[in-house]
Chain A
C-alpha cells in the first residue's frame, strides 16, 4: 500500500492510506525510513478489519482513529487537503546503520540476556560468537570474511550480509566449520519467509556434502536426531533474524507464525533411495550429481499421510486427494516420500520419473473453482492476471463456482523429494515451492 501511495504522491496526487493499528509503528518508522522515504499520512483503523462485516467497518468509519483519537473521516480529509508540515517535507532514505562489530566484554549470562534483549536469538541458548570461535568457523571457507554474500533489501534497507556475519550466525547456531559452505550458500537466500501469513521454508541438501558432513536423509531425517540437519536449519533462522533484521511487530507481522521457522525443516535427500530414473532434486534443476546444492523451498503447510500405504488405494490417489487441501498458489506442491513409497510409485504404479508423477498429479487433482479463488493469497496473486487476460485464470474467473478445475496447472512446480529410513511407507504432501538451488561448492 505504501508503495502505491508513494507513487501517487510523487506525481502530485495526495493520498490518505489507511491501515490497522498493529502495523502503524512499522509504517511510520521502518517503512518510511527504509522503503518509502516519504511521510505518508496514515489513518489507523481498529482491529480486526479482515473477517468482520461491513457494518463493523461502518462503525469504524464513523469512529475515531485509535492512535490519534481524531475522527477517522476528518483525518482522511485532512490527509488529502492540508499542506505538508516541515517533517513531512523531509524525504529520502538514510544511510544504513548497523551494530558495532564487537560488543563490550561481559559475562556469559549477561551476554545471553543481551542477545535475547536484542532479539538476536530464537530464544534457545546460543553459542556466543567470540572472535576466537568466529575465526575458527571462518576456516571452513576459502572466502574472505569481508566478502559480501548478499545485500539484504527485504524488508527495506540495504544491509550487507558478509561471510563473517554468516560465520557469526553459524557459531551461534552451534555449527562446525565444515558446515559453513552450506550456511554461506543458504545465506544467499536469506531471510526466511516473512509475511502476515504463516509463510515458512524447507531446506533440502543434495550431493556429496550430505555424506561429508554427516547429514541425515534416513530414519528421522525430518526430526531432531542429527546435528548438521539441526544446526544448519537453525542457522537460517538466526541469519534471517539478525542480518535480515526480522523482529515480530517491527518488521515481521506473521499473525500466527510457523513452528517450522525454528529449524526450517532442514534435511538431505535420500539419493541412495531414489528409484531408477528418479533424479535428485538438484539434478532436476540442472546440476550434476557431483554438485553439492542446497534448495530453499517456500510454503506454508504440510500434511502427513498418517499411516502406511494401502495397496488397494494407490499412493498417488491419496496424495492427489490430500493435495486438494493445498492452496495451489504457484501450482506448488512438494511430496516428501519415503524410499518405500517412491519404490511403490515406480515399481507398481509405473511412474518411471519424478516428472511423470508431477504430470499425473497436475492432471488428476481437481477442485471446485470457488475453492481456488476462496484463498486470499491465490486471489491477490492471480485475480489481476486473470482480469488482464492470462489463461487459465481469465477463464477460471468466469466459471460457475462449482466447476471443477485442475489448479496445479504447472507440473514443474510439483516436485518430489525422497527422504526417510524405510521403516514405513510414509509420505508428506506439502505446498512448498521449489526453485533452483544454490551451489554449495562455490562457498567452500
Chain B
C-alpha cells in the first residue's frame, strides 16, 4: 500500500462523528511540543518519529483499541506522517476499516475553526 492509498476521512466527517457521540480515538502524530501547544480536542499524542525505533513505537500503537475508529493526523502537506502511522497499524493487524488518516490534517482542522485544546 502507498501513502496515498491509505483511507482518509475529511475534517467535516470527523467533526460530525464527534458531534454525534460516535466512538473514535484521534491520534496526534506530531511532536509533543506541537501537541501541547494545541491539538484537536480529545486527541492523544503518539509522535511519529521517523528516525525513532519502529518496533518500539509499535509497542505504543498497540495500546490503541481494536474495535474503535482510529483517526491519525499530522500537519504535513500530504498527510504523509499520519498515513505512515496508519499503515503501521494495518501491519500490526488492525482492521483497515477502522483506520483513517485525516485529510488535510491539523492545518485543515484549524482552518475550519473546529474545537482544539492545549495541555
A residues with a Cβ closer than 8 A to B are 3-4, 7, 11, 35, 153-156, 193-195, 284-285, 296, 298, 329-332, 381-382, 384-385, 388-391, 393, 409-413, 433, 435-436
Contacts and interface: CB of A to CB of B under 8 A. Distances in A.
Interface of B: 25, 31-33, 42-46, 49-56, 58-66, 90-94
Contact of A195 (B32, B56, B62): B56
Contacts of B33: 7, 11
A391 B65 contact: yes
Contact of A153 (B31, B51, B56): B51
A160 to B, nearest CB: 15
25 contacts: A3-B49, A11-B33, A35-B51, A154-B52, A193-B55, A194-B53, A298-B55, A330-B58, A330-B63, A385-B44, A385-B46, A388-B44, A389-B44, A390-B25, A390-B44, A390-B63, A390-B64, A409-B65, A412-B92, A412-B93, A413-B62, A433-B55, A435-B58, A435-B91, A435-B93
Contacts of B66: 410-412
Interface residues of chain B: helix, strand, loop or mixed (majority): loop
Nearest to B52: A154
B50 A433 contact: no
A335 to B, nearest CB: 16
Contact of B59 (A285, A296, A332): A332
Given A329-B59, A332-B59, A436 B42 contact: no
A393 B56 CA distance: 18
A154 B59 contact: no
A78 B66 CA distance: 49
Contacts of B53: 154-155, 194-195
Contacts of B51: 35, 153-154, 156
A220 B66 CA distance: 36
Name, among B52, B56, B61, the residue most crowded by chain A CB atoms within 10 Å (CB to CB).
Answer: B56
Contacts of B64: 390
A435 B92 contact: yes
B31 A7 contact: yes
B55 to A, nearest CB: 4
A40 to B, nearest CB: 16
Contacts of A389: 42, 44
B58 A153 contact: no
A156 B50 CA distance: 11
Contacts of A35: 51
